[in-house]
Amino acid sequence: MAKHVLILGGGFAGLAAARALQGTPCTVTLVDHNNYHLFQPLLYQVATGELPTEAIATPLRPLLAPTGAHFRLGRVLAIDLAARTVQLAENATLSYDYLIVALGSVTNFFGHADLALHAFDLKGVEVAEQARSRILYAFERAMSCTAAAERSAWLTFVVAGGGATGVEFAAALLELIRILIRRRYPDLQKTPPRVVLIQGGSALLPGFAPSLQAAAAAKIRALHGDILFDTHVTAYDGQTVQSPSVAPLPARTLVWTAGVRAHPLTAALPGADPHSGRVVTDARLRVSDHPEVFVVGDGLASRHQPPWPQVAPLAIESGRYAATVIRAALLQRPPPPPFIYRDPGSMVVLGRYDAVCQIDRWHIRWRGPGAWLLWIGLHLYRIMGTRNRVLTLIDWAADYGSHGNAIEIIRKGQP
């Protein structure tokens, strides 16, 4: 009987593993609570109206069909390592011979329940669409406000977290606001909207060279955004952002990009770090005392310093590597050399025609239209499915060509 490889998660890591197992003498099943693969790096563009959801969400069954892998829609509730089974919410149990845990990460609100209740975290399609509706709704509410303080609160948008997602979202939001004020809401020019980017450290884009960090901050300010460094959001009731280092900030919209941690089921595995939830595996990505269980993607911790980034390249490389280890075992071949992650570099877009790029292995520090074009090409390459690539390219061309082809629909029940 063929061995069963069970993959939990249809993100970059899980999909890479399924594809790498193609042709291997085994049965492969991929489980995800969504029936689509989500291109997370561009989710913020759904929130700012630059892209429709359909451009970054690709159905999993067509993606898996060429690999021969099976797809199972379901939410994973528990992993029983001793019994080698996985429990799904639909009262179903799946057994496995090999397990690849590729469950990704979840938002870390650091124990603040009020933030989880009132902030938008940009971790899923539904929340991104809700954030987009909230932004548009805020402008409509501001138009009907008679009190200046209330109007200002509706037109204040706070972004917590100055990493790549926070900076990209803030830049895109500032450009969207400029277009909306000029074309849709000229009456609000007397009360200009405000975007406040709050960063816990002393610089944006941790891990980037100081020159690129400074360039990102300068660009946000050039777009008329405000930056608060060395500041942490500690409370938010949907009305006012609280921080111990600054005065209370009235704002009806808070977008949270200030932290993630490994999925709770990943964090429950042996070797998981108590703070990040990421698992320290052996050199071949196997869980301690369970050589049949692999952890890949955002849940994988580096065995050495510095920590590995929770990004798509690591997810793809680790997913493929786990598949090669399993393939070697099934074919009774020697295992591959230990896993080594070689960081291909980092890129952050700073709005139209501008981006920063850092490739440490080649000592490259790059900023400007050339880096932006590279960012465009790389993201189009990584988007799953020809239809999605074409749809994204068309939307980008319309948006950048017309300087404002944003999606401006407020969905019912979402503000």
17, 319 Cβ separation under 8 angstroms: yes
pLDDT (average), residues 283-296: 98
Q: Is residue 403 very low, low, confident or very high in pLDDT (cuts 50, 70, 90)? A: low
Q: Pick from 176, 101, 128, 191: which is nearest to 351 by CA?
A: 176
Single out the catalytic residue among 168, 175, 317, 408: 168
DSSP secondary structure string for all residues of 259-327? -EEE-HHHHTSTTB-TTT--EE--TTSEETTEEEEEE-GGGEEPSSSSPPP-SHHHHHHHHHHHHHHHH
* Predicted pLDDT of residue 175: 95
Whether the per-residue pLDDT at 1 is higher than 90: the answer is no
d(CA 388, CA 397): 14
* Predicted pLDDT of residue 404: 58
Whether the per-residue pLDDT at 415 is higher than 90: the answer is no
Query: 163-174 pLDDT, tens per residue?
Result: 999 999 999 999
Whether the per-residue pLDDT at 260 is higher than 80: the answer is yes
Range(s) for CATH 3.50.50.100 in the chain?
Answer: 113-258
Query: 71-122 pLDDT, tens per residue?
Result: 999 999 999 999 999 999 988 999 999 999 999 999 999 999 999 999 999 9
* Predicted pLDDT of residue 309: 93
Range(s) for CATH 3.50.50.60 in the chain?
Answer: 3-33+74-107+260-330
* Predicted pLDDT of residue 53: 94
Q: Is residue 20 very low, low, confident or very high in pLDDT (cuts 50, 70, 90)? A: very high
Looking at every residue in the chain, the average pLDDT score rounds to 95
Q: Pick from 190, 161, 193: which is nearest to 179 by CA?
A: 193
* Predicted pLDDT of residue 67: 97
pLDDT (average), residues 6-12: 99
pTM strictly above 0.85: yes
> Is 168 marked active-site?
yes
Whether the per-residue pLDDT at 405 is higher than 70: the answer is no
* Predicted pLDDT of residue 270: 98
Tell me how crowded residue 73 is: count the other CB atoms within 10 A of its CB: 14
Burial category of 282 from C-beta neighbours within 10 Å (exposed 0-12, middle 13-18, buried 19 and up): middle
Q: Is residue 373 very low, low, confident or very high in pLDDT (cuts 50, 70, 90)? A: very high
* Predicted pLDDT of residue 191: 87
Query: 180-210 pLDDT, tens per residue?
Result: 999 999 999 988 899 999 999 999 999 999 9
DSSP state of 41: G
* Predicted pLDDT of residue 414: 58
- Helices assigned H by DSSP within 5-85: 12-20, 43-47, 60-64
Q: Does domain 113-258 have CATH number 3.50.50.100?
A: yes
pLDDT (average), residues 56-71: 97
Q: Among 1.10.240.10, 3.50.50.60, 3.40.50.1100, 3.20.10.10, what is the CATH number of 3-33+74-107+260-330?
A: 3.50.50.60
